[in-house]
Amino acid sequence: MGLTDLLRERPIVQAPMAGGAATPELVAAVTEAGGTGFLAAGYLEPDTLATRIRAVRDSGVTAFGVNVFVPGPLCAPDAPAPYLPLLETEAKRYEVSVGEPAHDDDAWDTKIDLLAEAAVPIVSFTFGCPEAGVLERLREAGSATVVTVTTVEEARLAAERGADGVCAQGAEAGGHRGSFATDGDEDGNGDGNGDRSLWELLPDVVEAVDVPVIATGGLMTGSDVAEALQRGAAAVQLGTAFLRCHESGAHPEHKAALADPAYTETTLTRAFTGRLSRGLVNRFVSEHPEAPRAYPEIHHMTKPLRAAAAEAGDPDGMALWAGTGFREAVDAPAAEIMERLRHEAGEAGVRV
């Protein structure tokens, strides 16, 4: 089944949330309920990714995807240095050590080899667009390919290289911005448009490319789903809407924070990873507004701090990724969330 047909049949896509939320159980539950579930390959060891793909397939699910982080360029060698003293203060708080500012490609070659062999229905990419040869290799293996984009220029490049579809990500989206890295400027990729809202970005991307466009960024309700589809999207992708659901692997403190009145807003921050990401404003975010552009170096430096905060049950030291509509997230089974989305979309005049 091609991407267009798959999305027409299953237009609600569960976002591939790296860091633990997108469990095989969540992917299976969303897909069994008529959506398209996604595993996140980011930060996983290849063997772990292979195990999770098998777990999804063992559940009987066939229509699902896997998302991969595209490696970026090295940052300036001294870029992380000014941040170290601030992180050492955090380390003392949790009685751990700051991680090493390592640069890696997240096992890119091995994961592409694995996915070419696994032939999952969809492989999507974040942080850049692979070379045309990678996209063609996956297509020949039987996978449709999708590239996350935040500008019209990115969308055109992805289509030119042969991507079967693009995922237009508005600035409202929780977690990392999917922008392509250009000279270390992931804010706007040199064109000043990387921070556009979904409703601004979507029609321009739909007009610019002749491939299916998946809309994502702040979508939480069935009426949001209906509006995106009415504006030309072939499908919609929701992440935060599934964060609190029973099958989500998000940390309990993360789930609780989404409903905690103490957390009132989200913001874009580099504090945890060195790459712009949207999350709830907590103590860590507020105290580190000037974190440098250095991904994944900063990610590796803060990893033990985030783990210690999670172990201590301290949400103010955790990366509480969330989109702007986080208050709409509910504690319920994924199937119930899917049914609510369908019902609300139907009330808005769109059948999904």
Q: What are the pLDDT digits (tens) for 44-102?
A: 999 999 999 999 999 999 999 999 999 999 999 899 999 999 999 999 999 999 999 99
The confidence score (pLDDT) of residue 308 equals 98
Q: Is the pLDDT of residue 192 over 90?
A: no
What's the CATH superfamily of 3-71+106-248+329-347? Aldolase class I (3.20.20.70)
The confidence score (pLDDT) of residue 182 equals 44
pTM of the model: 0.96
Angle, CA 322 vertex, CA 7 and CA 42 arms, to 5°:
65
> To which H or E segment does residue 205 belong?
helix 198-208
Q: For residue range 289-330, list pLDDT tens digits in order.
A: 989 999 999 999 999 999 999 999 999 999 999 999 999 999
Q: Which amino acid does the sequence have at 211?
A: V
* Residue 201 structure tokens: 């970005």
Give the largest Cα separation in the chain, rounded: 55
| Sequence ranges of the domains in the chain | 3-71+106-248+329-347, 77-104+264-319
Determine the 3-state secondary structure of 150 from DSSP: coil
The confidence score (pLDDT) of residue 193 equals 55
